[in-house]
Structure 1
Amino acid sequence: MRARPHRLNATIAWLFMIGSACFVIGSVPAYANATGGWVDGITYVVGSVFFTGASYLQLVQAQSPAATAVDEVTQHDPARVRLWGWLPHDRSWLAAAIQFPGTVFFNVSTIAALTHNATAAESDRYVWRPDLYGSVLFLVSSVFAVLAVSRRFFSFEPRSFPWRIAWVNLLGSVLFMASAIAGYVMPTTDALVSTRLAVAGTFWGAVCFLVGAALMFPTWRREVASATAATSA
């Protein structure tokens, strides 16, 4: 299979941006009140589907060197991409490979959340657990992404676009984790641990992912320009 590298990167960015935007919108109380719980739930489902599509394409990109090692000319040429790969020693690949099943867990949790009148036990089993598992995988993936672009985990490289993306996504993953923990339904009261934290964590976490996805465009342009300069030298 072949794909134009710049189109593949742009598609990944747009899918992540749309998915993030759905989670941002869905977590706004005014939107939920105006549209109703079912429409709000569908918004999350749609967002999770875009996340999954973007995540899989990012995995394909991570395991296809021909899709990233490009200059101004070759970024427009169809390059061979690998739909399946095994690169456990590549931190970028590990980040993408761990992130993908995380998005699948979000698919499960958002679809399960559409069920009405679920008991606390059912909500925790079919909604909260997949959400928690997905959040854990996102967090682990984000750590590997930081390690992939930094000399050291706590190195400070604000001029690097990949460094910015990795850290803003890590912040988003932390916020999603906080939201997942706060979303546990306590069996004794049928109430969430913290509704406010669950909503805020989802909203601001999705905002972080939206920013991270938008930064993929200038990151791509800078890396292509650097490759072009190196080729011309």
Structure 2
Amino acid sequence: MTDSLVNLSFSGLGYVTKAVHLLEGGRQKIVTSRRHRKGRGALLVTPEGVHAVSPGFKYPWLHIWAPARLTWWVAVLFIIGSALFSVGGYAITFPQDIPTSLTTGLTVDWVFFIGSLFFTSAAFCQLLESVNAGDSEGLYAEQKLPDSFQWVAWHPQRIGYMASLVQLIGTVMFNFNTGNALINDLNWIQQDILIWTPNMIGCICFLIASRLAFMEICHGYWGWQPGNIEWWITVLNLLGSVGFMISALYSLAVPAGDTSSTFSWLSAFFTFQGGVCFFIGSYLLLPEMFSE
């Protein structure tokens, strides 16, 4: 079936996030950047309504198993990583509710470090997902399908790719941040250089990536789509990134004797809040896979 490209939608930064094709009989095929990247296919607009070219499951919330799809691994790895950050943040924020053996500094630091490794694994899978999106159906200039699975590519014209790349950089910074926190006997200057600085860089990367993902969904700087599961995923990730940033701001090390217990509590609380937001957003990636 032949079709003609009749409209392109751009986000505020100039990225193409939606392509509308005119089909025979006055129908339209709508291809969006995120749906294409997630392998969910296009939307078909007919006089009867909007339908997915590749229909989803009747009850997408009940389907959670699809290990053959890279998107599934992205969701599962992010779920585990964000769960560990939530547990670590909760253990520091509300130590009275946690067994003493889990609230020691070394144990909690390991929880964060392992969680950061899951974050990085998920972000890497997410980048591979974008790299291997294949035929863009009018979204981008190149239309050639990759001959084989690609591990490395450069697609700066794709907003989803840039969001995934920036988030991967952020997760690597969290690896340094949480890994260096395992080092004993650091003075406050060393803590700021080895722990706080990569933490801040990682949080900035997460904010940028979350903002790009939000713009990808809204096809602009702002949008209100509470009936769209994709919108809720990006909103929750944005809230999680804001929580992590606030946590980082309160975690700046200062000379001995000047540390505020309130600042330490707030840092732990917003780590917990950010982790919970990321956990819910990560879970929603599963029903998104199976929804129409």
Quote the residue 1:21 is aligned against. Answer: 83
Q: How far apart in 1 are the matches of 2:240 and 2:167?
A: 13
- Aligned partner of 1:11: which letter? W
Secondary structure of 1:81 counterpart: coil
- Aligned partner of 1:134: which letter? G
Moved more, 82-91 or 170-179: 82-91
Q: What TM-score, normalized to structure 2?
A: 0.68
Quote the residue 1:220 is aligned against. Answer: 289
Quote the residue 1:62 is aligned against. Answer: 130
More strand by proportion, 1 or 2? 2
Quote the residue 1:186 is aligned against. Answer: 254
Stretches (4+) displaced over 4 A: 66-69
Q: Does 1:145 align with 2:207?
A: no
- Asked if the contact 1:143–1:170 (Cα under 8 Å) also holds between the matched residues in 2, the reply is yes
Quote the residue 2:74 is aligned against. Answer: 12
Quote the residue 1:34 is aligned against. Answer: 101
- Asked if the contact 1:18–1:50 (Cα under 8 Å) also holds between the matched residues in 2, the reply is yes
- Aligned partner of 1:166: which letter? T
Counterpart among 254, 272, 281 of residue 203 in structure 1: 272
Secondary structure of 1:212 counterpart: helix
The percentage of counterpart residues that share the same residue type is: 31
Q: What TM-score, normalized to structure 1?
A: 0.84
- Asked if the contact 1:67–1:80 (Cα under 8 Å) also holds between the matched residues in 2, the reply is no
More helix by proportion, 1 or 2? 1
Moved more, 113-122 or 123-132: 113-122
Q: Does 1:94 align with 2:162?
A: yes
- Aligned partner of 2:285: which letter? M
- Aligned partner of 2:267: which letter? A
Q: How far apart in 2 are the matches of 1:134 and 1:60?
A: 20
Unmatched 5+ residue regions in structure 2? 1-65, 138-146
- Asked if the contact 1:67–1:81 (Cα under 8 Å) also holds between the matched residues in 2, the reply is no
Q: Does 1:118 align with 2:180?
A: no
Q: How far apart in 1 are the matches of 2:231 and 2:207?
A: 16
- Asked if the contact 2:215–2:222 (Cα under 8 Å) also holds between the matched residues in 1, the reply is no
- Aligned partner of 1:157: which letter? Q
- Aligned-pair CA distance for 1:154: 2.1
From the CA coordinates, give the structure whose radius of gyration is larger.
2
- Aligned partner of 2:266: which letter? L
- Aligned-pair CA distance for 1:114: 1.0
